[in-house]
């Protein structure tokens, strides 16, 4: 098997002023992080988590890797918060899927209530179990799933990244099949629309990742858009792994994650309320790649003009 099309979309929603969600859509790694904290601290926490995963995952596979990456993100956020009073207490959820095309498996690691779903054979399955107050109450039989959906404290999570020096990460491995569609989302989607609605949106979009992401974000906003909403979607296809993915290595010119995070938090006009932000490829590093492509195109044009004049 191999990974096919992928799409990611994040939106501030209709009630919040800032978008504290972040994501990675950088094959073979896909992740969503939903930050919390005062001022811009939630945004910083989620972006630090996304940047750590994206920076370190190249060429790696497996559950242990996912656990290590998430622990590393935890450490980085925790230490950053210790040294910055404005960021004290910041934290984030994280749900990460790392595809191993050679083994045909997907390693899943998560902390908090951002969810991973699998759509297979026309059915939707929630892969992750929320680390949330209401989910614990449902698991112990003290709340019905219907009561949980309406509960005033349904956004309270029982585990987060960055709030303690160490974190317990839940991991498992899924045997992937051609035709699978994987969906990762923040609670801004799953608390606004029900699972059966998610499935009907996927069906209406004919499982096309761009269309699925757009329609799901629209659906969450139409249902009230009470929180930031982020959706990452990717498909699994029949076929051999693409060779370049096996030899994936970090780009030497990529900025450090700290630099990318600073840029992303302070200078992203597209992240203002009401403007969905889309990335098909890299999350934090995407804009640098785009800038590089523009500079290359300009250099090529200059060379052509020079060549024309020289003849």
List interacting residues with Mg ion (CB under 5 A): 34, 186-188, 227
| Bridging pattern class, strands 277-279 and 91-92 | unpaired
Q: At what angle do helices 63-82 and 41-56 cross, to 10 degrees?
A: 140
Q: Which is nearer to Mg ion, 187 or 235 (CB)?
A: 187
Nearest distance in Å: CB 195, Mg ion: 17
Shortest Å, Cβ 76 to Mg ion: 21
Of 36 and 118, nearer to Mg ion (C-beta) is 36
Could you give the CA distance from residue 48 to residue 188 in angstroms, rounded to a whole number? 20
- What minimum distance in Å lies between the beta carbon of 187 and Mg ion? 4
Query: 17 or 247, CB closer to Mg ion?
Result: 17
Could you tell me the smallest distance in angstroms from the CB atom of residue 228 to Mg ion?
6
Nearer to Mg ion, 43 or 227 (CB): 227
Q: How far apart are CA 101 and CA 310, in angstroms?
A: 49
Q: Which C-beta is closer to Mg ion: that of 42 or that of 109?
A: 42
Query: Do residues 96 and 56 touch, judged by C-beta distance below 8 A?
Result: no
Query: 191 phi and psi, to 5 degrees?
Result: -90, -10
Minimum CB separation of residue 55 from Mg ion in Å reads 24
């Amino acid at each position: 098997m191999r990974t096919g099309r992928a799409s990611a979309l994040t939106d501030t929603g209709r009630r919040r002023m800032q978008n504290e969600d972040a994501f990675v859509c950088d094959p073979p790694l896909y992740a969503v992080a939903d930050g919390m904290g005062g001022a811009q601290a939630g945004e910083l926490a989620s972006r630090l988590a996304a940047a750590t995963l994206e920076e370190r995952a190249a060429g790696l596979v497996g559950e242990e890797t996912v656990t290590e990456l998430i622990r590393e993100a935890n450490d980085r956020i925790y230490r950053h918060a210790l040294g910055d009073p404005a960021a004290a207490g910041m934290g984030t959820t994280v749900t990460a899927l790392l595809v191993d095309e050679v083994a045909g498996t997907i390693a899943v690691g998560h902390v908090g209530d951002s969810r991973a779903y699998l759509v297979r054979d026309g059915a939707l399955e929630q892969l992750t179990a929320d680390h949330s107050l209401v989910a614990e109450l449902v698991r112990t039989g003290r709340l019905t799933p219907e009561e949980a959906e309406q509960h005033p404290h349904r956004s309270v999570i029982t585990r987060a990244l960055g709030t303690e020096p160490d974190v317990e990460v839940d991991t498992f491995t899924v045997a992937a099949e051609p035709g699978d569609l994987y969906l990762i989302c923040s609670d801004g989607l799953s608390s606004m629309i029900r699972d059966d609605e998610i499935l009907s949106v996927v069906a209406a979009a004919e499982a096309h990742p761009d269309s699925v992401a757009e329609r799901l974000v629209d659906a969450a906003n139409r249902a009230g858009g009470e929180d930031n909403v982020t959706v990452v979607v990717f498909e699994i296809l029949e076929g051999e792994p693409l060779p370049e993915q096996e030899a994936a290595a970090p780009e030497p010119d990529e900025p450090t994650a700290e630099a990318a995070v600073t840029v992303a938090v302070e200078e992203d006009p597209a992240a203002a309320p009401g403007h969905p932000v889309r990335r098909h490829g890299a999350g934090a590093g995407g804009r640098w790649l785009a800038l590089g492509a523009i500079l290359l195109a300009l250099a090529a044009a200059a060379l052509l003009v020079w060549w024309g004049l020289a003849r």
